[in-house]
Amino acid sequence: MYVESKLHTRNPFVTKEVAPSIVRSVDVFIAGGGPAGLACAIAAAMHGLSVEVADGMKPPIDKACGEGLMPDTVHALHQLGVDISTTQSHPFRGIRFIGSPNRSRPARNTQADFPQGHGRGMKRVLLHQLLLDRALALGVHLSWETLVKQTAQQHPANAPTGQGTTTLIHTSRHTTRARFLVGADGHQSRIRAAARLDKATIAARRIGLRQHFAIAPWTDYVEVYWSDHGQAYVTPISANEVCIAFVAHQKFESIPQALSFFPDLLARLTAALPSDRPRGSITLSRKLHRVTRDNIALIGDASGSVDAVTGEGLALCFRQALALADALQDNNLPAYQKAHVAMHRLPHFMARTMLLMDSSPLLRSKALSAFHRRPQLFEQLLQTHVGHAPIQILGSRGLIATGAHILAG
Ligand SMILES: Cc1cc2nc3c(=O)[nH]c(=O)nc-3n(C[C@H](O)[C@H](O)[C@H](O)COP(=O)(O)OP(=O)(O)OC[C@H]3O[C@@H](n4cnc5c(N)ncnc54)[C@H](O)[C@@H]3O)c2cc1C
């Protein structure tokens, strides 16, 4: 016999249009079939767990994204059994920072190669299709155009607290009973709200705008253009197309307006045509206080996020998926909570550093000059960014030395 309780008395899912009959029981139900949800489904299925994913949209799902997969992201995808080298994507060897020129001096540029491997630029819809194919091959049950509407915890009567708890998930089409519920439902996560996991620290909230251009990539780096109006970054995504993402505190009215703040980039694109319609989205630096409660866990943007300019959002999704699947298999969500905290430390440090450069023109100019004069500083930063060197390399004496070079700039 079960005792049922709603996840939360102010459950935002509560609606009258829920399908009452249980059609299936699974080990893991995942709300949201974006990169985080599909990656988690893949990792859980690789452990032999039965999995259902429900998403309100239908594939392939597109979203505003810089579409750059850093080498550590490519590695995490490989661990999930997803190989992107054979599909339409474009390699890049490192990152180039490009300052904005002013009347007194030309733009200060600096670049560094990844210490190991290449990153890859890849259209978001292609990545989504690859993840979807892999999930299907592993027997994951995928329910598209299916909104998660309401959830309710069921506790077996007379069992010690928390033991044997399952969740009933009512969607717009059917009802499923699951041992674990995973919220992979993005920035506005309803699962997060329903599980009362909303408590968070938000360090920055910016707006992103993406546009593809039909032009052969002119570089094998991801180029990040800096200005007083945010950043524009260019990722080569095929032999004849690039993806440009603009990120700023203010909303750009249009692509021409956004480009007007980046004259060097505008000059590159004079002969190029946009190859699709622009797409916008917010990007947050948000740290949640907790990402698990009872048999519920959050993943991807639902579980907190780093500013888009770090290019680490997808890597976090995939790494979290691997850690969460281990925890689900071991029935040990506290282990995932711990791993999640550790995983976010470095990307948040990098996001803070880049947001500082965004907010202070003086610091930005000094940092870009220092990187220009001493490229090894930038190399160290990139090595740390992709997890190849420990954060301590920038800590204590390293950080002081870096700061001194920047201030001397
Ligand atoms: C402008 C911009 C540029 C970026 N550039 C990069 C980059 O270059 N590299 C990088 O690694 N990262 C980048 N990111 C970050 C990256 O895009 C995100 O971290 C990533 O998309 C998060 O994936 P997700 O699956 O958690 O969320 P989402 O992709 O938002 O997926 C959530 C899914 O949940 C579904 N959903 C929501 N509510 C419900 C419900 N009630 N029921 C059913 N389904 C539901 C939605 O339909 C959606 O499909 C960028 C982000 C932005 C905004």
Domain ranges of the chain: 2-62+126-201+286-347, 68-120+202-283, 360-408
- Bridge partners (DSSP) of residue 287 are 201, 304
* Residue with CA closest to ligand 1 atom 52: 65
Sign (positive or negative) of CA dihedral 75, 76, 79, 85 = negative
The span from the first CA to the last CA of the chain, in angstroms, equals 70
Between vectors from CA 350 to CA 250 and to CA 234, what angle results, nearest 5°?
A: 55
What 3-state class would DSSP assign to 48?
Answer: coil
Which of these, 48, 354, 393, lies nearest to 230 by C-alpha position? 354
Question: pTM of the predicted model, to two decimals?
Answer: 0.92
Strands (E), 228-358: 230-238, 241-248, 273-274, 279-288, 292-293, 296-298, 304-305
Interhelix angle 35-46/313-329, rounded to 10 degrees, is 30
Residue nearest to ligand 1 atom 3, measured at CA: 65
Question: Is the CB of 147 inside a 6 Å radius of any atom of ligand 1?
Answer: yes
CB of 72 shorter than 6 A to ligand 1: no
Ligand 1 atom showing the smallest separation from residue 209 Cα:
1
66 Cβ inside 6 Å of ligand 1:
yes
Q: Evaluate whether 2-62+126-201+286-347 and 68-120+202-283 have a shared fold.
A: no
Fill in the DSSP letter of residue 251.
P
* Separation of alpha carbons 115 and 93, rounded Å: 9
Cβ partners under 8 Å of residue 281, min gap 6? 63, 64, 65, 207, 208, 210
Using an 8 Å Cβ cutoff, are 307 and 283 in contact? yes
Which residue, by CA, sits nearest to atom 16 of ligand 1?
313
Q: Whats the size of the chain, residue-wise? A: 409
Question: Would you say the CB of residue 63 lies under 6 angstroms from ligand 1?
Answer: yes
Closest ligand 1 atom to residue 314 Cα is 11
How many angstroms does the Cα of residue 154 sit away from the middle of ligand 1? 30
Provide the CATH number for the domain formed by 68-120+202-283 in this structure: 3.30.9.100
Alpha helices in 164-262 (DSSP H): 190-194, 255-260
CB count within 10 Å of CB 100 equals 19
In CATH, the number for domain 2-62+126-201+286-347 is 3.50.50.60
Bridge pairing between strands 221-227 and 94-98: parallel
Q: How far is CA 372 from the centre of its chain?
A: 29
Each of the 409 residues of the chain gets a pLDDT tens digit; together they read 455 655 543 444 433 444 557 778 999 999 999 999 999 999 999 999 999 999 999 998 999 999 999 999 999 999 999 998 767 899 999 999 999 876 566 667 899 999 999 999 999 999 999 999 999 999 999 999 999 999 998 888 877 766 788 999 999 999 999 999 999 999 999 999 999 999 999 999 999 999 999 999 999 999 999 999 999 999 999 999 999 999 999 999 999 999 999 999 999 999 899 999 999 999 999 999 999 999 999 999 999 999 999 999 999 999 999 999 999 999 999 999 999 999 999 999 889 989 999 999 989 988 898 898 899 989 988 988 887 776 655 554 445 455 545 545 4
Q: Say which amino acid occupies 312.
A: E
